[in-house]
Structure 1
Amino acid sequence: MAKKDVNEMSFLDHLEDLRWHLIRIVTAVVICGTVAFCFPSILFDNILFAPQKMTFPTYQWLCNMSQVFGMEDMSFCADSFPFIIQNREMAGQFSIHIWTSIYAGFIVAFPYVIYQLWKFISPGLTSKEKKTSTGFIIISSLLFFMGVLFGYYIITPLSINFLGTYSVSSDVSNEIDISSYVGLVRAAVIASGIIFELPILIYFLTKVGLVTPQFLRKYRKFALVIVLILSAIITPPDIASQIIVAIPVLVLYEVSIHISRIVIKKDTKKQKKQVRKTS
């Protein structure tokens, strides 16, 4: 049966269309997650557990920087972290394996997820806007993967280095549960990926008239406070880590202002052309 025109579709038709897009998204995530589930050594040993080893590239770089600047804190140059990862529940490792595979499936399938969401909203767009779909999918995916890499190579090692070495007393040893460790890595990676989608969010908010460049500039100070709060939530409570995380987010905010200005400029030109045609 041919697909109905968007103007002829009822509310239930839209819900049915959305349901099929969501089914395709879930199917893609499950397929990618199943592949990840079949390779636990790569998923856990080579990826998830890599940041808790001092051979991780970030620690090597920070160690070199510490030596160059003569910093007294050489915790990045240690041989190993003073903690172990353990499992305390009977089904703990199996549960972690399943959920981590699902998260990995979502990350890998993200371009397809964005594509399906775009397919759902594209019938309501003009033909010119539909032509930009390829660029939208590529940019959204690129920003997301940049955020994932930032979370994995910056936020995760900083968090593990701070929290894994923190001690209130020499009588207390750190024996970290696997769910706590994996949860930290997953949260840092996914949160960073979502935060890096800020320019895309601003683009759509500008298109629907909820945000303007003037609004973003006016409340830049409030945005700075929000960014610092987010940085404090997803990073250890030390100033250096928060600044490292805040800088790229602030850059993304400034980029978003520029994007909003471009969108407003294009919409203004379009309105002027329409006025000329009608007059």
Structure 2
Amino acid sequence: MPLRQHLEELRGCVARSGMVLAALFIGGMIFDNPLVAFMIGPWDAARAAMIADGVPDPGMLAFIKPTEGFLFSMKVAGAFALLVGGPYLLWEVWRFVGAGLHLHERRSVKRALPFAMALFVLGLSFGFYVVVPISLPILLTWVSVELAHPTITLQEFLSLLLTLTLLLGFVFELPVLMWLVVRAGLMEADTLASSRKLAMLLMLVFAAIMTPPDVITQIFVALPMFVLYEIGLLLAKRAQAARERAAL
């Protein structure tokens, strides 16, 4: 296919993707109150848990600048557009890239993509509904409430929420990554199995660096990685067996 035709296709993909994201973003801004209420759900869950444990209520999230509420709504609408429009964006990327792949490569991507998307959503959900609500009370009471009362802004909360949920979304892609590297012949399944202890040590270090400085949050990030690594090993062994059969 001529380069000019490739560029025309790319321009069409970018234009269509941009229009879809813009429409979703506008919809997110129109319905910003329900989306904001949903986004601060982990904060409300953490408040309820703290009150039930007899800890003073940290109160509602605050904003200290006149524009902060508006900017928060824009970021929430942007996150909504990317999350809801993500499958369409992947489909556009697949339309553009898939035509240049070999048949076996297209088959591998078609097998991996739904699984990868499901794992990413599962990771986001685990972070949103489990890790963040459990981590917040620990972080908010790290310094005794008798010494200081927390005042958390919308922006600070959103930063923590997106960091932990997106981190776990990508962490949950570990089995797919392991399957791909073995399927592509970049690594052997036996090598991954023999490196299990080193991998777990690196996961602990990764969790300690990437998460807030409390042990509970680090454990909640590291434990799924251990389980996902074992799932990845099973998939890697199947990928290696399939690769060896194809080579016969």
TM-score, scaled to structure 2 = 0.84
Distance 1:19 1:101 in 2: 25
Provide the rounded CA distance (Å) in 2 between the counterparts of 1:265 and 1:124. Answer: 26
Residue-by-residue CA offset, 1:140-197 (whole Å, 9 max, x unaligned) = 2211110110010112112211122222573422111211011111111111111111
| One-letter code aligned to 2:89 | V
- Mapping 1:48-87, distance limit 5 Å: 48-54=39-45, 59=49, 77-78=53-54, 81-87=57-63
1:113-145 Cα offsets, whole Å, 9 max, x none, are 333333343234333553565543321221111
Q: Which residue of 2 aligns with 1:37?
A: 29
- 1:245-274 deviations in Å (ceiling 9; x for gaps): 2222111111112222222211211111xx
TM-score (norm 1): 0.76
* Structure 1 contact 236–242 (Cα < 8 Å) conserved: yes
For residue 152 of structure 2, the aligned residue among 168, 176, 181 is: 176
The equivalent of 2:163 in structure 1 is: 187
Q: For this pair of structures, how many residues does the alignment match? A: 248
**Counterparts in 2 of 1:94 and 1:76: CA distance versus 1, 3 Å:** same
Q: Relative to structure 1, is the Cα distance of residues 200 and 30 closer, same or farther in structure 2, using a 3 angstrom cutoff?
A: farther
Structure 1 residues not aligned, in runs of 5+: 60-73, 273-279
| Equivalences for residues 109-124 of structure 1 within 5 A | 109-124=85-100
Structure 1 Cα separation of the partners of residues 8 and 73 of structure 2: 33
In 2, the alpha carbon distance for the partners of 1:15 and 1:251 equals 43
Instruction: Please say which of residues 215-224 and 76-85 is displaced more in the overlay.
Output: 76-85
Question: Gaps spanning 5+ residues in structure 2: where?
Answer: none
Q: CA RMSD in A?
A: 2.9
Deviations 1:179-233 (A, max 9, x none): 1011111111111111111222223322333222122123222211222123234
Q: Residue type matched to 1:155 in 2?
A: V
How far 1:93 sits from its partner (Å)? 1.6
Residues 85 and 97 of structure 1: CA distance in aligned 2, closer, same or farther (over 3 Å): same
In the TM superposition, residue 41 of structure 1 has moved relative to its aligned partner by 1.8
Percent identity, aligned pairs only, is 24
Q: 1:28 aligns with which of 10, 16, 20?
A: 20
Residue of structure 2 in register with 1:216 after alignment: 192
